[in-house]
Amino acid sequence: MSRQIYFDNAATTPMRNEVVDRMTEVMKLNFGNASSTHSFGRSSKALIEQSRKVIASFLNVSASEIVFTSGGTEADNLVLRSAVRDLKVEEIITSKIEHHAILHTVEELSKEFKIDVKYVNLDSKGNINYQHLEQLLQSAKKQLVSLMHINNEIGNALDIKRVADLCKLNNALFHSDTVQSVGHYKLDLQDISIDFLAASAHKFHGPKGIGFAFIRKNSGLKASIFGGEQERGYRAGTESIHNIVGMEEALKISYSNLEVEREYVLDLKKHFISSLKKSFSEVSFNGNCEDIEDSTYTLLNVCLPIAPEKAAMLQFQLDLKGIACSKGSACQSGSSQNSHVLTEILDEVHLKRPSVRFSFSKFNTKDEVDYVIEVLNSFVNN
């Protein structure tokens, strides 16, 4: 039987044992509805509010500014839709390499509310042009900027404070999808004047189906889900207590071990890069992901020098050998649709080659990296 190696942590991460244990305990002992006034309900409510305080403390914000959601996608939708509907935003500035939770929502809002959508220019690596962003902000319309902190496909890191300062200077609202950065980077939201952000627990070894939105106090945002007064009225519905506590536990562990685990994972990434360069002279790296300073330490998006006729079998062969990763372009899967991110930044030659995203966590090892290199070598050279 082949080995089972998981290098798709940007898609989702395995839960930590401590998180599973804590969630199991809560499911057994704290099953009361948090809206109930009896002791069972009060016990559940206390756990939720304690989790809210802990999560808020890591971002240096007030607990009342944390709204629990089903994940990053719902948080993005809540912010963007309410900003247009309730705050009367007339123009959204974003980029063409955002997550589809942003792009598809903005497209729908444009159709529904006839708002203007402007896309900031990108360079060949997928970095935003800050001068162009500044130009776009010179508008009399009420604007919201939505730019992700860490790109989920190519790992580029946005200068989030610079964008926040530009938005504040020009009286624009700023929202960021921080799904790939919360739990991996420290964000002090007293220093970074961001208005809204989205996060998801399953990206930092927590449970799926839970995330949160940060909504700056007195923003004026309103509910998108109606039916009850849960989550300060932003999100009706009985709270998923075990998931909320699981997210708190995962975030606590992630931040308490941040420096040690970051160094460990970064070392894996460096080893992967050097091994790929030794094995494939024409290998290239998409976006900034080869640059240790300007990309996340958790991700590598690789364009491999493989002929198109062979490229279609790459993903299948990796899966056959027990290696889980994500495709970076259509060539390797037979799909009819390229990655929208790579389509924006790659030339025709590199788009025809297979690109693969490998993403890492503390549960990976150098031995696993070496095995992937061995499998790739065998595939390319046979």
Give the catalytic positions in this structure: 331
* Helix or strand (DSSP H, E) at 199: strand 196-200
Cα–Cα distance for residue pair 340/326, rounded to 1 Å? 14
Q: Look at phi and psi of residue 67 and say left if phi exceeds 0, alpha if psi is from -120 to 50, else beta.
A: beta
CA distance 187 to 178: 10
What CA–CA distance (Å, rounded) separates 323 from 311?
A: 16
**Alpha helices for the chain (secondary structure H):** 17-29, 39-59, 72-85, 100-113, 130-136, 160-169, 241-256, 258-279, 308-311, 314-320, 340-345, 348-351, 366-381
CA-only gyration radius of the chain, Å: 22
Helices then strands, each counted (H, E), the chain? 13, 13
Q: At what angle do helices 241-256 and 258-279 cross, to 10 degrees?
A: 70
CA dist 125 → 89, 108, 301 (Å)? 30, 28, 12
HSE of 150, CA atoms in CB hemisphere, 13 A = 25
Name the token pair of 149: 């902190």
Phi, psi (rounded to 5 degrees) for 199: -145, 160
